Amino acid sequence: MIRARYAQAADIFAEALDRPEPDRESFIADACEGDDELRSTVESLLRSDADASFLDTPYTHDDSGAIENIDRLDRAVAVGHYRVRGRIALGGMAAVLLAEQENPHREVALKLLFLDGTASDTLTGEAAALGRLQHPNIARVYEAGTATVTLDDGDSFTASYIAMEYIQGVTLADFATSKTLDRRDVATLLLSIAGAIGHAHQRGVVHRDLKPSNILVDHDGGPHIIDFGVGIVRDGNTSSTASSLAGTISYMAPEQLLGQLDRIDTRADIFALGAIGYELIAGKPLHAGVEHLDDAVMARIVESSPAAGATFRAQAGGQLARVLRRATEPSLDRRYQSASEFAEDLRRVIDGRPLDADDASAVRALAFYARRHKAAAGAIVVVFVTLAAAVAVTLAASSATERALVLAESSREDAAQQA
């Protein structure tokens, strides 16, 4: 039933993409025939198709007061007890402001949402997810709620907000564009992100929308996950099943794309990590060129991973390609089962160690050692040659001595016979 409804949503989504953007809203409303859940799924697919962060999502709500408030944000001087110092980013449905907190004194990133009917619930959910997490590669949350936004002329309005750690950096996508990342660089970045996601998973949080625009890289090259807005918070006594479709197409696992909400768990995040790694190496998204989720496209995505191709193996190298292929495995059972398992193989790639028993033969192990320790390997070769030469000399001397003893014994026997 879930899959059938998702297929219906995918058909409407595909038709909506073919229409001019101003006409899409009315088309979707007519096609969904008052089915709010179906319409929500279609709109989620459209947002995902934009492949952007929440700040770039076009504002479609008809609350003119909210739109006016967005336009007035440049004049904001305070949000509650936070003093506004500037604007970090502004989009159609949200904004991020740079602000200063007096006690304790620190810079914070204030994320404000203007969808009045859902903003509070959205931010409360994100704050609940982030509040569980304390990891150096995850932006910390300090506070969430509703506050008065004060403008420079004394006017004010109310908005929902979340106060987060301010990370000075660029998105992972921009970082990759500005740098030349080799295989080791990519594996190292993924290892840090996997450690953060593993920390979240251990505390019952599934991200569901990992992508380069949701990861900031600081000036030291360290990645930080900044957006858990569609994450699932799991408790010991509650179900882990997602209640709605969420994610970005290029990084969504097949079970997400198929609308199999009851199968979405931590392994969806591992798939997204693999998709990010693929993009960093290949320079294009895992599902590049996907514009319509028709049956042929869905079948291709569900049956194989682009990371299994020969071209990608040549780009990534055999080991890293194997890791990313397994991370993006369409089958849940054949995918990495935990972030720690994924991270351990990344460590092996970085260290130049064999991935598993298949790689651990004597010849392959010696080859891995030689790549990791070139100087030591050279010394071993020298020692081996020296020992071989010494053994050869010893064997030759031993053979000559043995021949001399045989001749001496033969001469003694001849002399005895003559006597």
Q: What are the tens digits of pLDDT across the range 45-77?
A: 666 554 444 444 433 444 445 556 666 777 889
Residue pLDDT, tens place only, 158-183: 888 889 899 999 999 999 988 889 99
Contact (CB, 8 A) for 43 and 115: no
**Does 64-165 match 169-368 in CATH topology?**
no
Percent of the chain beyond pLDDT 70?
64
Q: Residue 216's pLDDT is what? A: 93
Burial environment of residue 44 by CB neighbours within 10 A (0 to 12, 13 to 18, 19 or more):
middle
Angle at 274 between CA 269 and CA 279, to 5 degrees: 125
3-state secondary structure of 36: helix
| CATH 3.30.200.20 given to domain 64-165 | yes
Pairing of strands 76-79, 106-113: unpaired
Q: What is the mean pLDDT of the chain?
A: 76
Query: What's the pLDDT tens digit per position in 205-250?
Result: 888 889 998 899 999 999 999 877 666 666 544 444 455 566 677 8
The active-site residue out of 18, 116, 155, 209 is 209
pLDDT value at residue 80: 92
| 74 annotated active-site | no
Q: How far apart are CA 152 and CA 163, in angstroms?
A: 21
Q: Is the model more confident about 59 or about 20?
A: 20
pTM equals 0.69
Which is more confidently placed, 25 or 151? 151
Answer whether 141's CB lies under 8 Å from 127's CB.
Answer: yes
If you classify domain 169-368 with CATH, what class do you get? Answer: mainly alpha
Summarize pLDDT for 297-344 with one digit per residue, the tens.
Answer: 677 777 778 888 888 989 989 899 999 999 999 999 999 999 999 999
Q: Where are the domains of the chain?
A: 2-49, 64-165, 169-368, 375-419
CA separation for the pair 345, 191 (Å, rounded)? 9
pLDDT band, very low/low/confident/very high, at 419 (cuts 50, 70, 90): very low
Per-residue pLDDT tens over the stretch 185-217: 999 999 999 999 999 999 888 888 899 988 999
Task: Give the residue among 327, 318, 361, 31 at the shortest CA–CA distance from 193.
Answer: 327
| Of 272 and 66, the one with more pLDDT | 272
